[in-house]
């Protein structure tokens, strides 16, 4: 007998002009601190924080940047925060040439949920949330 495997795709959102961070093993307070430092130091206008699972957070910033500036900002936060998960995520984004954050559920993890908003959100955050909504709607209609 053969057993059929069930596909379990994970959908994410990728681009090269939105600064994103993916923190592992970090408190919301720590993530908020580093997001606030980055938004002020690099004039990123605003951010949202999403909780992807326990002690794991995504951050999306509002200002459009070049790929080089994007990776410089992520490297700065990864280096100064000493977050090993963020450092590994940063290296993978460099290899791919764009940065990606998960939008759909993943195994037992629910879709990331917004837990905090800060300041301006009418450029990249607005676009991120619009595409995120479309992806989540597609996901729901696929019945995985």
pLDDT bucket at 84, cuts 50 / 70 / 90: very high
Give the tokens for residue 75: 């490297």
Mean pLDDT of 65-85: 98
Whether the pLDDT of residue 92 is over 70: the answer is: yes
Looking only at the bridges linking them, the beta strands covering 99-102 and 56-64 are unpaired
Residue 137 pLDDT: 86
Mean pLDDT of 50-57: 96
Better pLDDT: 17 or 139: 17
Q: Rounded to whole angstroms, how far apart are CA atoms 80 and 65? A: 21
Which of 1-15, 32-46, 87-101 is least confident? 1-15
Whether the pLDDT of residue 110 is over 90: the answer is: no
pLDDT bucket at 1, cuts 50 / 70 / 90: very low
Half-sphere exposure at residue 13, Cβ-oriented, CA atoms within 13 angstroms: 27
Better pLDDT: 68 or 105: 68
Average pLDDT over the chain, rounded to whole? 92
pLDDT bucket at 108, cuts 50 / 70 / 90: confident
72: Cβ contacts below 8 Å, ≥ 6 apart: none
Mean pLDDT of 115-143: 89
Looking only at the bridges linking them, the beta strands covering 18-23 and 46-53 are unpaired
Residue 5 pLDDT: 54
% of the chain exceeding 90 in pLDDT: 76
Listed residue (43, 99, 107) closest to 74, CA to CA: 99
């Amino acid at each position: 007998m053969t057993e059929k495997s069930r596909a379990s795709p994970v959908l994410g959102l990728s681009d090269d002009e939105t600064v994103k961070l993916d923190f592992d093993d970090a408190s919301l307070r720590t993530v908020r601190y580093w997001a606030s430092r980055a938004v002020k130091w690099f004039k990123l206008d605003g951010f949202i924080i999403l909780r992807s699972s326990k002690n794991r957070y995504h951050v999306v910033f509002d200002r459009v940047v070049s790929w080089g500036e994007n990776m410089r900002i992520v490297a700065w936060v990864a280096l100064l925060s000493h977050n090993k998960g963020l450092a590994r995520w940063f290296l993978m984004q460099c290899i791919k040439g764009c940065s990606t954050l998960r939008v759909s559920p993943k195994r037992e993890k629910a879709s990331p949920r917004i837990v905090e908003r800060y300041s301006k959100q009418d450029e990249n955050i607005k676009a991120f949330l619009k595409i995120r909504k479309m992806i989540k709607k597609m996901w729901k209609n696929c019945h995985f």
